[in-house]
Amino acid sequence: SRHIAVTGSASGIGQALAEQLIGAGDTVIGIDLKDADVCADLGTPTGRAQAVEAVLERCGGVLDGLVACAGINTPSPALVSVNFFGVTALAEGLRPALAAAAAPRAAVVGSISGTQPVDDEVVAACLAGDEAAALARAEVVMGEGPQKLYPSSKAALAQWVRRDCVTPQWAGAGIPLNVVAPGVVRTPMSAALFADERMKQVMDRAVPMPLNGYAGPEVIAEALSWLIGPSNTHMTGQVLYVDGGAEVSLRGPAV
Ligand code: NAI
């Protein structure tokens, strides 16, 4: 059976994906703050190193798939540590184990928010791999416009995927690396937003979903499943919007 590491496995999209993969016969190594096979804080370098070590032990150094779902949306500098470095550092740490597998695959969860206005300095610091600089700039952004932090973390993540997916380390090692960018998904994360009717109205304007409205987490999980499945031999570096038409509604038909 394939060994697939899934971050954020205790809730929402990660939990739905873990259930689907287990149902299909895979061995899932769930990673989360709690209620997981590997309990670690991906927001810290120590937690990431612990997670890498624990996953390597569980998969015997050969990892068939990695899906990074863990993320937070509460406006704070920690956003960049969890949503960007918690994904990229973990992926880099596990990449040799992926390269050792027969048909390795990796995917991360971005967001439609990655298309919204970002702070260029936060994005640049993330892409430079400079967590201290990203955190320092995020502190400044907190005072100026904290709503830019989440989009910045997700835009940086998508750009990291598109930059690195074609390198010898990823494409050269036979590892497809893609992003699924959801619109609004019914999970504990969005439930917090929708508890506030005014916030819900803001969200509905910011993320229009003419095709079937809000998605369930299993819908996002299905797209991730295909990306890390055996059929995906040639798609890499793509940002798949699974968003009820939000990206097209916001950006228009030009490609
Ligand atoms: P969720 O809150 O239900 O699940 C996220 C999981 O990540 C939780 O189990 C949480 O404990 C874990 N996590 C958070 N910080 C962590 C850390 N430092 N270390 C380890 N684990 C940590 O959220 P949901 O909705 O399932 O989100 C999954 C991904 O989808 C996130 O990256 C989120 O940004 C993204 N997303 C969600 C949307 C939505 O409407 N729910 C829309 C677009 C993107």
Is ligand 1 within 6 A of the CB of residue 8?
Answer: yes
Reported confidence tier of residue 192, pLDDT bands at 50, 70, 90: confident
The Cβ of residue 134 has, within 10 Å, a number of other Cβ atoms equal to 27
Of the candidates 116, 71, 50, the residue with the CA atom closest to the CA atom of residue 250: 116
Our mutation pick for probing the ligand 1 site, out of 28, 55, 189, counting the most ligand atoms within 8 A of Cβ, is 189
Residue nearest to atom 6 of ligand 1 (CA): 8
d(CA 194, CA 209): 15
List the 105-109 sheet strands across, edge first: 38-39, 27-32, 3-7, 65-68, 105-109, 177-182, 239-242
Q: Which atom of ligand 1 is nearest to the CA of 47?
A: 19
**Which residues, in sequence order, are CB contacts of 151 under 8 Å at separation 6+?**
111, 113, 114, 115, 116, 117, 118
Q: What is the mean pLDDT of residues 118-122?
A: 98
Mean pLDDT within 177-184:
98
Between 34 and 192, the more confident residue is: 34
State the residue for tokens 């703050």: 33
254 Cα: distance to centroid of ligand 1 (angstroms): 30
The string of DSSP codes covering 224-241 is HHHHTSTT-SS--S-EEE
Rounded percentage of the chain residues whose pLDDT exceeds 70: 100
Is residue 199 very low, low, confident or very high in pLDDT (cuts 50, 70, 90)? confident
Active site residues: 150
Domain map (residue ranges) of the chain = 3-242
Where residue 128 falls among pLDDT bands split at 50, 70, 90? very high
Checking if the pLDDT of 122 tops 90, the result is yes
Distance from residue 171's CA to the centre of ligand 1 (Å): 27
Q: Is the CB of 184 under 6 A from ligand 1?
A: yes
Top mutation candidate among 39, 72, 154, 202 for ligand 1, by most atoms within 8 Å of CB: 72
* CA 113 to ligand 1: nearest atom: 43
pLDDT confidence of 150, banded at 50, 70, 90?
very high
What are the tokens at 6? 């899934």
Sign (positive/negative) of CA torsion 188, 147, 131, 105?
positive
The third-level CATH classification (topology) of the domain covering 3-242 is Rossmann fold (3.40.50)
Summarize pLDDT for 66-90 with one digit per residue, the tens: 999 999 999 999 999 999 999 999 9
Give residue 36's pLDDT: 98
Determine the average pLDDT of the residues in 12-33. Answer: 98
